[in-house]
Amino acid sequence: MSNTGTSWRIQGARVIDPFRGIDAVLDVTVRDGVFVEDHDPSLPVVDAKGLWLVPRLTDMHVHFRDPGLEYKEDLASGSRAAAAGGFTVVCTMPNTKPVVDIPSLVEWQKERAETLGLVRIWPIGAVTKGEEGKELAEMYQMAQAGAIGFSDDGHPVADSRIMRAALSYSATLNRPIIQHSEDPDLFAGGSMHEGAISQQLGLGGIPAEAESIMVWRDVELVQLTRGILHVAHVSAPGSLEAVRYAKNKGLAVTAEAAPHHLFLSDDAVREWQYSAVTKVNPPLRPAAMQEALIQAVTSGLIDVLASDHAPHHADEKAEPYDKAPFGISGLETFLGTVMTVFLGRGLLSPLDLFAKLTAMPHQVLRQSYAGISPGAAADLTLIDPGAVWTVDPAAFYSKGHNTPLAGATLTGRAVATMVGGRWTMREQEVLG
């Protein structure tokens, strides 16, 4: 059957719609790119029996490296990786070359994504000019141009006075500051988690406190400014305590966790014997911290799951461990990883798990979407919940093939992705 067109009747899927709190077997009709209520029998039928249908899968933390670092990833290859992974929206981090710190770059990324037509891109603008941490970027103008939030990701906003100002603006602009929480001095010289394994391997360590100290500081600054803070890629127990404290005080503080921190511990660094595929920031933590993070996602303390898809060139990741860049490709393993951890262990219901990839990122970013209801854009993913598959990075659409999940067996996989009524992926093949 042809894959083109924007009108479909999808039959027999288990519809899991966290925007509306629905989990039921239903037929879904799409006409001219939007959901409609009537069941027009003349439309082409898609048999989705045995599959799950989830609207608007969103990954609010990816690095597409475009402009300037296209040898690692570009908007086309990143968009293909997103479609292959089942995602309909991604938020791109601004640590490109140049940094996305002016409105024209925000506009350009959005326009390019629309031309490609594979995934909706909601750009994140930089907090400071050039992500240098010295002077605020044009936050207002970037917000006008469509920046969904602000981050210096890759770097923390370390200067407390600048972070204070940024948080003050965040409240006015109604957009979060997404902080890469790291104390630069405590972090310096490290390339993996500081503990027994870093000592054994003789690698420079990064203590968990390098992260949590910054989260505690930011929580204090949110109390001072009443700003909006989203903590990126939480990995440390102290960060969880800080987020808990902030939420108990009713502050606008939310947090995300990344799949690799939930699936792996720093044991992986030893198992991979100095291969930099395990090198990521924040670093993989010990099993007890991994378990604490899993519990924090399960309890709802962590609001969102996001991949932190951070592709690099193979030559860069082939450098010695202490020289190689931090970052791994995550878009194409994201769904399988979190389904394996949370559904495989029975920790979350599908509705609660997928809320962290759909309705919750929308809430954090203050974006409205009505889920599967008449008139809403038909963005959806068909998932085979029972698909057991082995991660083969050579098959990635991303230009970055570095991942410590290579060879891992996962359960659950996207089999089709639709954006605005148009199929962007079917049967693992990206269309366009």
Ligand X SMILES: NC(=O)N[C@@H](CC(=O)O)C(=O)O
From start to end of 291-420, where are the E strands? 304-305, 380-390, 409-419
Residues contributing to the site for ligand X (CB under 6 A) = 63, 95, 153-154, 180, 280-281, 308, 310, 325-327
Which of ligand X, Zn ion, none sits in contact with 95, Cβ below 5 to 8 A by type?
Answer: ligand X
| CB 311 to ligand X: min, Å | 8
Query: Under rule CB under 5 A, which residues in 92-131 are in contact with Zn ion?
Result: none
Please name the helix (run of DSSP H) or strand (run of DSSP E) that holds residue 90, with its range, or none: strand 89-92
- 8 A C-beta contact, residue 235 and residue 263: no
d(CA 326, CA 259): 16
User: With respect to ligand X, which residue has the nearer C-beta, 58 or 95?
Assistant: 95
From Zn ion, ligand X, none, interface partner of 326 (C-beta below 5 to 8 A by class): ligand X
**Which residue, 175 or 180, has its beta carbon nearer to Zn ion?**
180
- The answer to whether the annotation marks 180 as part of a ligand binding site is yes
As given in the structure block, the two tokens for residue 423 are 């199929």
- Can you state the angle between helices 237-248 and 209-225, rounded to 10 degrees? 20
β-sheet bridge partners, residue 34: 31, 377
Closer to Zn ion by Cβ: residue 123 or 371: 123
- Alpha-carbon distance of 372 to 395, in angstroms, equals 32
User: Binder to Zn ion among 17, 74, 101, 153 (CB under 5 A)?
Assistant: 153
Q: Say how far apart CA 285 and CA 236 lie, in whole Å.
A: 8
Instruction: Select from Zn ion, ligand X, none the partner in contact with residue 327, using the beta carbon and a kind-dependent cut-off of 5 to 8 Å.
Output: ligand X
Residue closer to ligand X, measured from CB, 133 or 325? 325
61 is in an annotated binding site: yes
192-195 long-range contacts, CB within 8 A, separation 24+: 192/266, 192/269, 192/278, 192/279, 192/283, 192/284, 192/321, 193/266, 193/269, 193/283, 193/284, 193/285, 193/286, 195/266, 195/286
Question: How far apart are CB 349 and ligand X at their closest, in Å?
Answer: 29
Residue 3 labelled as part of a binding site: no
Which of 23, 308, 322, 384 does the annotation list as catalytic?
Answer: 308
308 among known catalytic residues = yes
Sequence ranges of the binding site for Zn(2+): 61, 63, 153, 180, 233, 308
Give me the active site residues, please.
308
Residues that bind Zn ion in the complex, under the rule CB under 5 A = 153, 180, 308
